[in-house]
Structure formats: C-alpha cells, structure tokens
Amino acid sequence: MATAIRILILCMGVLSAAGLCAADTGDGATAKRARESVRPDAADVRYGEKRPELTQSDPACDRLLDVYLPKTPKPAAGYPCVMFIHGGGFKSGSKRSHGRLNSVCVKLLEHGIAVVSINYYLVRKYAKSKTRDRYKEVRVAAEDAELAMKWIVDHAEKYGFDLERFAVCGSSAGARTCFELAYVRSSRPPKIRAVIDLWGMMVDPGMIRAGTPPSLIIHGDKDKVNYISHAYDIKRRLDELKIPNRMIVMEGKGHSQTGEVVKKYMPDIFEFLRQYWEK
C-alpha cells in the first residue's frame, strides 16, 4: 500500500511538471512569471494610523499600500493612476496575493498606468459575532480607502500621478468597496473618473446617487459567490440614473476570473479608461 502511494505521488509530480495535472489558478504561466518579476517602487507605505481595533501586528489588516510605477517614460501631465482594492470577503486577502501583484494590475502597468494597491481593515477576520454585518464591513473598508486616496493626493507630485486621470478597480469585496467610494459616499479628491468592477455586488443598488462615475462591470454568469443578478441590479440602477456604464458577461465562468480578464478583456478595460480619462 505504501509503495502504491509513493508511485502515485511520483506520477502526479511528473504530470504536474508536464503541465497536465496542476490546477491553473487562472493566470497562466506567462502571467505568473510577469507577476513575479514586478516589484513595488514603494512597499508597505503607511497611509494612515493603525486602527485602534487592530491590537496586534497584522499587515493584511493595516493601513499600508504599495506603489507601482510604469517603466515607460512619464507623460508631461504624469502617469494615469488606478487604486486597486483586493477581494477576499472582508476576511482574507492582501495587496499582494501570494506575494505578487494582481495580474490585471500588471497589465495596467505595462500599459503605462501607475497602480496603488492597498490593504484595509478586514472586519470579518476579527468579527466576534457570527452574524454578518454587510453594511459595516464595506463602510470600514471604504473609510480606509478614502485615507489611501488622500495619501495619493498628498504624494501625487512625488510619484508623478496625474490626478485628472484617476480610477478605482476592485475584485469582489474590493469592487464593493469601490462602489461605496464612488456611488454612496461623498467622494474626496482625487475625483474618481471611472470604476472597474470585477465580480462585485452591492447590498442595495438603490443607494447609488446621480452624477457619479461611469462603471465597467465584468462578471461571470456562473458566479456562485456574487450572483450575476447582483451585477444586473447595479446596471439597472445605473441605467435609471443615466450613468454611463458597460457590462461584460463572461459566459460559463464563475467567481474570481482574473486569468480570463487578462486573456480576453484588457482591451475593453483600456478603452473604457481612455474614454473617460480624455481631457
């Protein structure tokens, strides 16, 4: 029996090395190598004081950010800038997933766009009650994200950010936080020119206010975490208020499809940003 198990493990290792057995997380080998080669120009920068409720050392829940600058020459007005907010259900995740930058952000960098990736307080990670407070978790995340935006304004000259071309992008819980920033709260500078929503949702799309930024919604129709009905509800509300938006439905795809976006939909993201960044 032990010999058979050893043989099975050996075979699996051979198949994995050949690329026949290992499960791909969606990024693919090329994108993975690209992610591993990207290093922040400024890492673990504090954008606000530690929250009083964070009584222990936990960088993933602290007010820290990373700055990534493109390798291309800086335009006269500065680099357009996207603030990225990671997902994880407000209980996990960080600005560097598995130590690497999100693949969508890598593509933004390659396209000459600066990226500021942030950590924020994860309410559900330290929640004492099993009852989920969906309003509190996104409100707290947005409070931190607003501080990160203030940091971006204060350090725009140092890093060469063009604040007239600023957008927010988030995945899942991060997308919820982007919606809270752009559509619910009184947005502080810099002005959010566009929202890139990767499989996010809102508890109450009725909270979306008129005159808020355009949104690009990307969602899988087989998503079992944030059902696509949530995305349609958001789009319906945006249409009611005549807020420019576009929705891309990834047919047959579930939740957290970063690899699919990198392979197929980056041109859509670039075109959407260009459209609403034009001066």
Scanning the structure block, which residue is given the tokens 């009083």?
Answer: 52
Scanning the structure block, which residue is given the tokens 């949104």?
Answer: 215
Q: Running DSSP on this structure, what letter comes out for residue 76? A: T
pLDDT of residue 11: 38
Backbone angle region of 43, left / alpha / beta, with phi > 0 → left and psi within -120 to 50 → alpha: beta
Backbone angles phi, psi at 206, to 5 degrees: -65, -15
Backbone angles phi, psi at 112, to 5 degrees: 85, 20
For the chain, helix, strand, coil in percent to 5 are 40, 20, 40
Judge if the upstream peptide bond of residue 190 is cis by omega within 30 degrees of 0: yes
Distance CA 127, CA 158 (A): 37
Of the given ranges (10-19, 87-96, 125-134, 262-271), which has the lowest mean pLDDT? 10-19
216 close to 196: Cβ distance less than 8 angstroms: yes
Distance CA 224, CA 136 (A): 23
pLDDT of residue 10: 37
Mean pLDDT over each residue of the chain, to the nearest integer: 88
Question: What are the tens digits of pLDDT across the range 108-164?
Answer: 999 999 999 999 999 999 998 888 999 999 999 999 999 999 999 999 999 999 999
Q: Are strands 64-68 and 114-118 parallel, antiparallel or unpaired?
A: antiparallel
- Is 50 exceeded by the pLDDT of residue 18? no
In this prediction, residue 35 has a pLDDT band, given cuts at 50, 70 and 90, of low
Q: pTM for this one?
A: 0.87
One-character DSSP codes across 78-90: -EEEEEEE--STT
Rounded to the nearest 10°, the torsion over CA 258, 259, 261, 266 is 110
Question: What are the tens digits of pLDDT across the range 166-210?
Answer: 999 999 999 999 999 999 986 679 999 999 999 999 999 999 999
- The percent of residues in the chain predicted with pLDDT above 70, rounded, is 86
Give me the residue spans of the domains in the chain. Answer: 28-277
Rounded to the nearest 10°, the torsion over CA 13, 18, 21, 22 is 80
Higher-confidence position of 97 and 240: 240
Distance CA 186, CA 217 (A): 22
The CATH number of 28-277, from 3.30.565.10, 3.30.70.120, 3.30.300.30, 3.40.50.1820, is 3.40.50.1820
In this prediction, residue 104 has a pLDDT band, given cuts at 50, 70 and 90, of very high
Q: What is the CA radius of gyration of the chain?
A: 19
- Is 50 exceeded by the pLDDT of residue 25? no
Output the CA torsion sign for 238, 95, 185, 161.
negative
- The percent of residues in the chain predicted with pLDDT above 90, rounded, is 80
Report H helices in 204-265: 228-240, 258-260
Question: What are the tens digits of pLDDT across the range 214-236?
Answer: 999 999 999 999 999 999 999 99
At residue 168, the 3 state secondary structure works out as strand
27 close to 255: Cβ distance less than 8 angstroms: no
Higher-confidence position of 181 and 11: 181
Exposure string (b/e) for 202-218, b if CB count within 10 Å is 16 or more?
Answer: beebeebeeebbbbbbb
